[in-house]
């Protein structure tokens, strides 16, 4: 097989990953826990067809990719080629189903789709945990997008990273006694608060935080407790408990980055206004159970029940500085959609 197309959904971490134990192998310093989304993701076609004659040819959202992105993808393809015993250059065509400048064009769905499409096109049929470890080499968060629904990423302890993989959590397939099986019907409402690229990429920001933030060790030390609380909340389908962990984890991650020297500030005024709106929704009578999380950018993502998603989206759309909102549901893991 020399051609394969894969799709993968992006994921939003509820317990954040922010720091590495090994930069070369992209091994996280802690575990993390996320929700894979349905509508927002990446479709990638890989053909080991000789590329542009000299090297790999990467087309991203209809245009030839820039040097930096191309190099990162080629380095990833080199790992796949080495493993499969292939030395042919590739043509890669990748499209994000994420709205332009949404701040959600994350590397998570990109490297998950690339790991699956490239490995399959190279003739490898990797089991999910090995695919997850492969995707991690491209981007830490991509290891989680191999799986659908709620997913936990293990930091692993091995130096070679073979145990630094993600796995789906049981809540994806079974609920509490009496509840119907299937994915817990939560939603993530995304409030876009800025257009354009973020100021500092996650990889560089994590390294800078680890080197200069006096809060970094305290941040790392707290993640296991958040993971345990999040797992327990998901088992019970307790939205308020899961939301409390998500807010705590995001605020601590940002506090740690804010304390770096020089400071890493991802927020803008609309970020804070959206946080205030979410808290007001909870304090209102009747209350709406809604909980925010924020990644390496100014946008605010709000966890809520499916039946409240439209109300939460409308409330956020009215916040000054919020440019647009979108609603995402839990989605499946990475999958092959075409192979030849």
Cis peptide bond N-terminal to 22, omega within 30: no
| Residue 154 binding ligand 2P0, by CB under 6 A | no
Helices (H) and strands (E) in the chain, counts: 8, 14
Nearest alpha-carbon partner for 298 in 189, 141, 192: 192
Binding piece for ligand 2P0, criterion CB under 6 A, among 45-53, 73-81, 200-208, 224-232: 200-208
Pick from 32, 74, 165, 256 the residue near ligand 2P0 by CB under 6 A: 32
CB of 14 closer than 8 Å to CB of 245: yes
Q: Which is nearer to ligand 2P0, 57 or 264 (CB)?
A: 264
User: What single-letter DSSP state applies at residue 180?
Assistant: P
Q: Which is nearer to ligand 2P0, 20 or 89 (CB)?
A: 20
| Residue 203 binding ligand 2P0, by CB under 6 A | yes
| Residue 40 binding ligand 2P0, by CB under 6 A | no
User: Between residue 2 and residue 31, which ones bind ligand 2P0 under the rule CB under 6 A?
Assistant: 13, 16-18, 26
| Residue 296 binding ligand 2P0, by CB under 6 A | yes
| Residue 107 binding ligand 2P0, by CB under 6 A | yes
**Nearest approach, Cβ of residue 254 and ligand 2P0 (Å):** 9
Cα torsion 322, 273, 210, 133 to 10°: value is: -50
> Residue 142 contacts by C-beta under 8 Å, 6 or more apart in sequence?
8, 107, 108, 109, 110, 111, 112, 115, 135, 136
Q: Which is nearer to ligand 2P0, 48 or 76 (CB)?
A: 76
Distance CA 124, CA 130 (A): 11
């809520």: which residue's tokens? 304
Tokens of 292: 């925010």
Pick from 132, 145, 202, 209 the residue near ligand 2P0 by CB under 6 A: 202
Q: Which is nearer to ligand 2P0, 26 or 42 (CB)?
A: 26
CB nearest ligand 2P0: which residue? 140
- Strand residues in 48-157 grouped as ranges (E): 57-60, 63-64, 91-96, 150-153
| Residue 91 binding ligand 2P0, by CB under 6 A | no
Cα torsion 216, 218, 223, 226 to 10°: value is: -130
Diameter over CA atoms, the chain: 65
Q: Which is nearer to ligand 2P0, 145 or 288 (CB)?
A: 145
**Nearest approach, Cβ of residue 13 and ligand 2P0 (Å):** 3
Query: How many residues in the shown chain lie near ligand 2P0 by CB under 6 A?
Result: 15
Tokens of 175: 């609920």
Binding site for ligand 2P0 (CB under 6 A): 13, 16-18, 26, 32, 107, 139-141, 202-203, 206, 295-296
């Amino acid at each position: 097989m020399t051609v394969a197309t894969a799709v993968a959904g992006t994921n939003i971490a509820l317990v954040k990953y922010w720091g590495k134990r090994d930069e070369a192998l992209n091994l996280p310093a802690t575990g993390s826990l996320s929700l894979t989304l349905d509508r927002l993701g990446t479709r990638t076609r890989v053909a080991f067809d000789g590329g542009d004659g000299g090297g790999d040819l990467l087309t991203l959202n209809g245009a030839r990719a820039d040097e930096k992105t191309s190099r990162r993808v080629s380095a990833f393809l080199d790992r796949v080629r080495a493993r499969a015993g292939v030395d042919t250059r590739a043509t890669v065509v990748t499209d994000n189903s994420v709205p332009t400048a949404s701040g959600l064009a994350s590397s998570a769905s990109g490297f998950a789709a690339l790991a699956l499409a490239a490995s399959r096109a190279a003739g490898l049929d990797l089991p999910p945990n090995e695919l997850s470890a492969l995707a991690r080499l491209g981007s830490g968060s991509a290891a989680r997008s191999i799986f659908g629904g709620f997913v936990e990423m293990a930091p692993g302890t091995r130096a070679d990273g073979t145990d630094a993989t993600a796995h789906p959590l049981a809540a994806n397939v079974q609920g509490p006694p009496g509840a119907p099986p299937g994915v817990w019907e939560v939603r993530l409402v995304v409030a876009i608060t800025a257009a354009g690229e973020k100021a500092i990429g996650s990889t560089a920001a994590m390294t800078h935080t680890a080197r200069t933030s006096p809060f970094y060790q305290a941040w790392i030390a707290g993640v296991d407790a958040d993971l345990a609380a999040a797992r327990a909340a998901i088992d019970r389908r307790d939205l308020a408990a899961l939301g409390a962990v998500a807010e705590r984890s995001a605020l601590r991650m940002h506090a740690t980055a804010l304390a770096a020297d020089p400071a890493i500030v991802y927020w803008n005024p609309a970020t804070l206004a959206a946080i205030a709106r979410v808290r007001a929704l909870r304090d209102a009578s009747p209350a709406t159970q809604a909980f925010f999380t924020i990644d390496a950018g100014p946008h605010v993502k709000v966890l809520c029940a499916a039946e409240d998603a439209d109300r939460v989206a409308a409330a956020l759309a009215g916040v000054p500085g919020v440019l647009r909102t979108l609603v995402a549901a839990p989605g499946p893991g990475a999958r092959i959609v075409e192979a030849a």
